Each structure stands twice: as C-alpha cells, then as structure tokens.
Structure 1
Amino acid sequence: MDYEKLSATTLGDNVHIVVRSGCDSFGKFMSIALISERTDHFRDFSVWPRQQDFNVEGWIQNFAGSELLVAKKLLASFTYFNKPMTAALMRHSVQKFLSSAWGNHAFPKPPTSADINSVCFVKCEGEDPRATDSGNLFARKLRDELRVPDNNIMAPAEALRKAAHFRHYVFVDDFVGSGNQFIDTLKRTHSAATPYESFESLLFGDKHTVSYCPCVATSYAQFTRISSIFPKVALYPAHVLIEEHNATLPNSRVWHGMSADDATRAIELLRSISKRAGYGEDDGGQDAWHGFHGLGLTLGFEHGIPDASLPVFFSERNGWRPLMRRAS
C-alpha cells in the first residue's frame, strides 16, 4: 500500500465527505445535523476518536452563523492521523531509509543482522528535553511496531558517546513543520559526549551518515530549513505537505471551489476568528493566527496537534472550545 496516498487521499476523502455537498461555493451551508451524522460515522469506524479527544460538536459552536462556511471548510480539510495510520507512516518512512541504505555500496544485499546493528535510531529532543517529547513516543513505536532492539534506540548524548559502534544515525519523529527542533537537536552540544560533542560536529567527518525519518514533513522544513543548513542530512518523510496545504493562502486546497476573491475574504474572516480565539499576531510565533512559522496547517495526530496547525483548532483561550487539545 502507498502510505503517501493513504494519508493524503483516503483519510482526506473521508473527511471531505463531512461538508463537500454543501460547500461548493461561498455562502452555501450544510446543516449541523448532517455534520453530526458524519461525525458519528467516523467515530463508529474509529477514523476519529472519542468526542472528548476530538470535539467537533463543541468546536462548531465557537462560530457565528456568518462564519460557519469557514468552519466547515476548515473541518473538511482537517487531516487526522489515528494510531494505526501514524504507525503505518512511521514504517513507511523508516523503510524508505533502509531501502536507500541497502541500495548503497555500504550495505550488501540482502541485509544481515550485522547491518542493522550499525544503525542507531535517535530520539529528537525539544529545547528542554522532557519525557513527553514526541521523540520518546516514537522510540517506543520503533521497539513495539518495528521490533528495533532497545540497544539501537538512544538519546542524542548516548548515541554520540557510542559513535564507534554505529555507522548510520536515524532520527525519527511524527511531524516536522519548521525544522527547529531537529536543527536544535543537531546543534546541541553534550559535554560528556566523545569523540563528538554534537551531531553537527559529527557531520563534518565522513565516518557516519545522519538521516531524518518523520511521518509528515513540510516542504518548508525539508528544503528551506534543514537541507540548506545541513545538506549532508538525508530526509525520508512518508508524506510531504506543500504550500497548497497552507490554509492562509488563497490557492490553498482548503478553499477549493472558491474564486480567488472569495478565498481571500474567507481568509480575512479566519484571521478575525483567530483573534477572537486569542491568536492575533502576524509574526509566525507562538501567538500567530496562522500557526507557527505561518504554516497554516490543518493537521492532527492521535497523540496531539502540531503548533504549525491553525490555532483555531487547539486554542483554549477566551473560552474557545478546541477541536483537539495540545499536548501539555
């Protein structure tokens, strides 16, 4: 199965059923009752989680009647990756790395257990590493879903200390939006690590390779940020989000079926709604109405929603009811 198509079309088509019949042009509405019916359908088939984890009914109540079309368009474009889909994306991403490595002269074919033992899977860490970091979650998924031995899964500092034992380093994560966390992980120095104090210094040599295997990546993170700063790092995302996934652009897929003028008006209304939800800044920061780095995504995972997604999906400010809650 092609998991890139699975994430982009199978789930997307299911979600689009929610409102497609009533949102073909600006100003046409579909009944809330039909939204509730479709929502129940997706929950019954475990495409969407329980109401307390994905609160469509409460979220819709945030919007005034004149704003419902925007709400429905956003909901129609929202892509939710449940637990099995997230695991499938992770497997596909790691398999892309392994296929590339085994096609290289450094790996004989077919691969042996000794080849796999030369690979160290590394957790991505936030600016202040915490137990709740998504890298820890995916370390467990590597062990449980792909049967990667615990000895081949490490935190960055430990992985650097054991550089003599490995040839290939593979970072895994659910989502890369801006690339900040991964870039910071590579640049972070570890005084106790020898012979390399950081992965940035390790990349200066030619004894090791560094790869990044996120489930989903933005083209902005992959090409504008990571590849420009660390050209020797190979990225193997299972699915890539391009500019047309940004809901704050008139050519976004979110506004499909609208004229450019209608899409522009809808975006201005979204901006006003976002300000009411407590996010009114334009700087692409943590309070930006269009999401972190202005990426304007409509994306969530079973374990949380990225800060690159639109804040109207996760805000709890000013009494706003979130569609999904951010991980604390």
Structure 2
Amino acid sequence: MISSEDLKLKRAVQLLCSTGIRRPLASERMRTWLKQFSSGPEHTLALLILRHLIYRTSNQIESSLTQALRRMALHFALNDKDRSTMYWRDILEGRAQLNFYFGPPEHEYTRPGKSGELIIRLLKQIFSIKSEQIEYPSSNKTLSTNERFLMIDDGTFSGDQLSKIIEANSTLMKRPGQTGVVVSIAHERALQRFERDFPEIPVFYGEKMTEQDGLVAISEQWIVAGNWPYGNDLPCEVYNEIVKKAGFKTVQPLGYAGLGLMVAYEHGIPDDSLQLLWDKSDSWTPLFDR
C-alpha cells in the first residue's frame, strides 16, 4: 500500500507532467522507473527526486539562452552609447560594428550531439544567426579586432568539459576581450572554475544553479520539513544503497564531479545529474537517455 504522503507526492508529479510543465516526459516512462524501487524509503526517495527534478523543455532552454545572449551582446558592445540606444538583438546581428561567431563544443573530436544540434537550430531559427557564423572551437579561424567568438552550449556544471576544450583550442579561445562562453544554465562550481582558471573568458548564462540544488542539500531540507519520515534511514544513504544494487559498470552515485544534481532537458540529461536518472545496467533502466 502506498502511504498518504507518497500518494500526495505521486499526484504532484503527475500534475507537473499533465499540465505540460514537463512535456514530453511520459507517465509510462516514470512508472517503469519507479517500479525499480522497493516500497518504503526507496519509493519515497524516488518520488521526492521526481518532485524536485529540475526539468527544462526546449522552450525553457530557449528562454534562458535568450537571457544569456542578451547579457553577452551588451557586454561586448563597443561603447556605452550602443548599450543605451541599441536593442541587444541589433548588436547581436552586427549593427554595432561587431561580428559574432558561435561554436558548440566538440565532444571527443566529434561534432556535437543532441545538445549541440539544438543550440545550432535555435541560433539559426530564433536568433537569425547565419550558417557562416557557426565555427567550431578547433577551427583555424583568426579573429579580427571587431570579431567575437562564443562557445555555446545548453549548460555547464563542473566546468570540466568546457575547460578541456578551451585548453585544447587555446589559439582561438584565449583571446582576451574577444571570446566568451554562453550557456542556458551554469552551476556555481563551473563559474568559480572559470573565474580561477580563465579570468579573461566571461561566462554568460540565463539560469544559475548552486550546491543547494544537489541531492545532499535538498535531502537535508526534506528531513527538516518532515517530508522524510524514516528516522535513521537517511535519504543519501538509501540512495547509495540503490546505486550499489543497480550494478553499474562505473559507480558515480551523485553523477560526474559529485554534484548530485536533479536536472534534465527535453533533449537529454547531463551526466552531472544523479546516476540513477541516466545510467543503465542489466538490472536498471534509466529515466532519461543520454
């Protein structure tokens, strides 16, 4: 029998999906994922994770990316007059004597996957970026004084991947005052890393996440708020036991870099999120595909 509190959580999750807030996350997919948790603490934990999942549709990614691009355009404007008199999209489209180039990061020497394709499509369809303005970081392009290059992606969390790409393509990326990073979502750990390692490369983002968005911090809130009624069976301990039983080839309970995020996109999920959300094994089916 499902407890009354679990039933409330389940209804809240179903409502989030049925209202379109988590479109197109299917209830059937969630049911399959939930069946892998035993009743009691495991099932409550799964429902709490679903309830507090940060899920972003393509439209929401577009909205956050718009904010990031606005900040970027105003930052690079050559003078205060352009900032005060010109609409940021005019600056983006080159009406302030600046030409912008954008490059989704390459992954392991290949073209970007789903996230890169989404960003390229948004740039072209929504922001009127032309094909000739798309350059990958590894290109041999040199920047003139009125050109700017922005590496662009859906999100950066630990900052590791983008940092490695910058180091590998330092000829283009390390041009003080001429390059930057644009993402829809940035985690404070990535921002701290860039401030430390690449102070000359600004990061423009539409949404910011912090350590308080991770499972460790959120589970403490569940306990304080009375959402977790299991006494000494702490949420993180229960979670780690489920990961062990899942039999993953590589154990990363809190995801890459240990951030413990519960974030996913309509087009996929970063491996910085909880391993139970994206990894698979002979005995475990993930909620999201990578």
Superposed CA offset, 1:259-293 (max 9, x none): 9995971111011112222359xxxxx63111100
Aligned to 2:203: 235
User: 1:166 deviation in Å?
Assistant: 4.5
User: 1:35 deviation in Å?
Assistant: 2.5
Counterpart CA distance in 1 for 2:118 and 2:284 is 28
The one-letter amino acid of 2:194's match is: I
Aligned to 1:93: 68
Aligned to 2:159: 179
Counterpart CA distance in 1 for 2:224 and 2:59 is 29
2:279 corresponds to 1:308: no
User: 1:157 deviation in Å?
Assistant: 3.1
Aligned to 2:134: 153
Counterpart CA distance in 1 for 2:18 and 2:101 is 38
Aligned to 1:278: 247
Alpha-carbon contact 2:17-2:25 (below 8 Å) kept: no
Counterpart CA distance in 2 for 1:154 and 1:173 is 13
The one-letter amino acid of 1:90's match is: L
Which segments of 5 or more consecutive residues in structure 2 lack a partner in the other structure? none
Counterpart CA distance in 2 for 1:62 and 1:252 is 24
2:288 corresponds to 1:324: yes
Alpha-carbon contact 1:121-1:153 (below 8 Å) kept: yes
TM-score (norm 2): 0.83
User: 1:185 deviation in Å?
Assistant: 1.7
Aligned to 1:292: 256
Aligned to 1:31: 7
**Residue 245 of structure 1, aligned match among 191, 196, 213:** 213
Counterpart CA distance in 2 for 1:168 and 1:322 is 40
TM-score (norm 1): 0.75
Alpha-carbon contact 1:125-1:181 (below 8 Å) kept: no
- 1:209-228 mapped onto 2 (5 Å cutoff): 209-223=178-192, 225-228=193-196
The percent of aligned pairs where both chains have the same amino acid is 19
Please, what is the CA RMSD of the aligned residues? 3.2
Counterpart CA distance in 2 for 1:209 and 1:130 is 23
The one-letter amino acid of 2:35's match is: Q
Superposed CA offset, 1:31-84 (max 9, x none): 39x7368527624536321538x7111111011012111111111110111111
Please identify, of 143-152 and 294-303, the stretch whose mean Cα deviation from structure 2 is larger.
Answer: 143-152
The one-letter amino acid of 1:171's match is: M
The one-letter amino acid of 1:311's match is: Q
User: 1:178 deviation in Å?
Assistant: 1.3
- Counterpart of 2:234 in 1: which secondary structure? helix
How many pairs align?
281
The one-letter amino acid of 1:228's match is: R
> CA 1:197–1:41 in 2, change beyond 3 Å: closer, same or farther?
closer
Counterpart CA distance in 2 for 1:300 and 1:45 is 15
Counterpart CA distance in 2 for 1:289 and 1:279 is 10
Counterpart CA distance in 1 for 2:251 and 2:18 is 31
Counterpart CA distance in 2 for 1:322 and 1:37 is 21
Alpha-carbon contact 1:123-1:135 (below 8 Å) kept: yes
**Residue 149 of structure 2, aligned match among 126, 144, 169:** 169
Counterpart CA distance in 2 for 1:299 and 1:250 is 13
